[in-house]
Structure 1
Amino acid sequence: MTTLPPLDGLTAVLAAIRAGSFTAAADELGLTHGAVSRRIQSVERWLGTPLFERHARGVRATPAGQRFAREVEQALATISQSAEHWRPRRELETVRISVVPSFAKLWLLPRLRALQGAPAELRIELLVEHRLVNLEGREADLAIRYGAGVWPGLRTHLLMRETLFPVAAADIAQRLGPRASAERIAQEPLLHDSDTTQWRAWLQSCGQRYRPRARDRRFEDYDLVLAAAEAGLGIALLRAPLAVSALASGRLVPVSDHVIHNKASHWIVTRADEDRSSVLRLIERMSSESS
């Protein structure tokens, strides 16, 4: 160790070369100007040659100082690479979310990077499926569920309430106009997923009765309902704010100004005893994104 230069002086030398002055180097390192000067002088004494030329606006590395700095940088890079090789890697904490495909596509994926943090502070693993996972059996850390918010034995956090109104592709919307009556809308093919409750509720609020017909179309996922509406296959109920991006892009256009509240909402569901900081932090971020 006696053959090595003063190690704390090496960082001072490199900082001064980068910054072009001892004062700026002191600011970078959180030291005083005098401390930086003393550390650099100790390295110069060890080498037996000056590393800097002083001038009115700061300092400039001598040719020897430039060569020495390059060699020090290479040596420090080698040490850093060796440390990275041997040091145990710090893995990001993983939070597993169970979510249905439509919600993953329409809401979660566009926000995934923001939810993980920048730079990433946690890793979100998506379990995209229709079945209800067993949270108590630790199949997932949390789930996004759609309904009234009551799941016995689990803790629920309200994520998003919705409103409903009918939308269609631009050509159909132009034909119907922006304030088509419920009776006129009901004459068009109605698009829905496996649950017709929302169409029943919207029509009933307008004094109309829902009657299933062969020309109506059923799809397994809500994002397919929206895609069918964009393709001009009929009229869908837009669930806002879940699918408002389709309005912003002009892919879908409202055909009525009659809006109702959806009885079902989106909920974040966890085990009753969930206390992992990463899970709780993710719940906070998701709630913030939905507000």
Structure 2
Amino acid sequence: MQLPPLNALRAFEATARLMSLSKAGDELHVTHAAISHQIKHLETWLGRKLLQKSGRGVALTPAGAEYHLAVSGSLAAIAHATGNMRRDHNMRSITVGCIPSIASRWLVPALPSFRESDPDLDVRIVYARAEERFDDESLDVLITMGEDLSGGRESRLLFSRRNQPVASVHYLARRNWPIENVPFAMADLLHDESMDGWREWFRKAEIKPAAPIRGPIFQDFNILATAVIAGHGIALCPVEVFRREIERGDLVVLSDISTAQTQGYYLITSSSAKKPVRRFAEWFMKECQAVGLR
């Protein structure tokens, strides 16, 4: 690889861009004479004249203009790659926006594991609304419901949002109902934001409720989760998100009939995310895949 003297190359690029030996010297923190010497050195090495006098300044020769076009692009690419490398190395914190249902069940409990694997990187967790979209000026990672199909985004599926009826065994025991034969039409129903979810489930199950659908409506999904685990009734919950509760026996799945099968929870980053962000994303993906339903 035949490379010219790099200091001379920098002197030429700055002079050609600024059209001034003095300004190039100021930018590179050397004297006017040093810049002139470096350019002459480069011209000798190339065997071509690159600059010529023009009034009180300088101008590019045809060969100099052609060479500057190639040199400036190459140096800009090196500067860009170097900046990215330094930012990757110096990145000490990332900001993660996360909806509460995933934060409370998966992200926060697992954080000590990430701190052990990447102790020099701090994670700032902020509240994200379900309708919030990824904004790489304020977030490095967004964990939310639904993928982002806009350009420059990368969406990774964490969990299916497949909803199935779940309840506490204590609730079933109190009503003296077997897990395999729950009379849903007579059950105490718990609702997430509206009663539409249960209406859809009854349609799919071809079950007619004994009376108009009723029951408490919870705007916050975590409150609904607390209520169903406490034995207040039966809720439609994303069983993938509730893997741990189901594994522990806090909740039992009461039917194979489900809704919202095509929806999911996603981890979203910029497609040009830095290495620390990608390390976090890969770690959390593995955490979410570590526990499975039996």
The TM-score bracket by the shorter chain reads 0.5 to 0.7
The 3-state SS of whatever aligns with 1:112 is helix
Query: What is the deviation of 1:257?
Result: 4.8
- Specify whether residues 197 and 289 from structure 1 end up closer, same or farther in structure 2 by C-alpha distance, changes over 3 A only: farther
Q: Distance in 1 between matches of 2:220 and 2:287?
A: 23
Q: Show CA shifts across 1:199-244 (max 9, x none).
A: 3443232113689957411112222112111222211123222112
Query: What is the deviation of 1:144?
Result: 0.8
- Specify whether residues 221 and 96 from structure 1 end up closer, same or farther in structure 2 by C-alpha distance, changes over 3 A only: same
Asked whether 1:285 is paired with 2:283, we answer: yes
The 3-state SS of whatever aligns with 2:117 is coil
Which region of structure 1 is more displaced relative to structure 2, 243-252 or 100-109?
Answer: 243-252
The 3-state SS of whatever aligns with 1:111 is helix
Query: What is the deviation of 1:259?
Result: 5.0
Q: Is the 8 A contact 1:200 1:209 kept in 2?
A: no
| 1:168 equivalent in structure 2 | 167
Q: Is the 8 A contact 2:169 2:250 kept in 1?
A: yes
Q: Is the 8 A contact 1:163 1:241 kept in 2?
A: yes
Q: Is the 8 A contact 1:219 1:225 kept in 2?
A: yes
Normalising by structure 2, we get a TM-score of: 0.58
- Specify whether residues 209 and 119 from structure 1 end up closer, same or farther in structure 2 by C-alpha distance, changes over 3 A only: same
Query: What is the deviation of 1:110?
Result: 1.4
Q: Which runs of 5+ in 1 are unaligned?
A: 1-89
| 1:136 equivalent in structure 2 | 135
Paired residues for 1:36-55 under 5 Å: none
- Specify whether residues 146 and 209 from structure 1 end up closer, same or farther in structure 2 by C-alpha distance, changes over 3 A only: farther
Q: Which runs of 5+ in 2 are unaligned?
A: 1-88, 290-294
Q: Distance in 2 between matches of 1:178 and 1:121?
A: 48
Q: Distance in 2 between matches of 1:131 and 1:230?
A: 23
Q: Show CA shifts across 1:52-92 (max 9, x none).
A: xxxxxxxxxxxxxxxxxxxxxxxxxxxxxxxxxxxxxx987
- Specify whether residues 221 and 210 from structure 1 end up closer, same or farther in structure 2 by C-alpha distance, changes over 3 A only: farther
| 1:207 equivalent in structure 2 | 206
Normalising by structure 1, we get a TM-score of: 0.58
Which region of structure 1 is more displaced relative to structure 2, 106-115 or 254-263?
Answer: 254-263
| 2:112 equivalent in structure 1 | 113
The 3-state SS of whatever aligns with 2:150 is coil
Q: Is the 8 A contact 2:186 2:209 kept in 1?
A: no
Aligned residue pair count: 198
Q: Distance in 2 between matches of 1:241 and 1:134?
A: 22
| 1:244 equivalent in structure 2 | 243
Query: What is the deviation of 1:249?
Result: 3.1
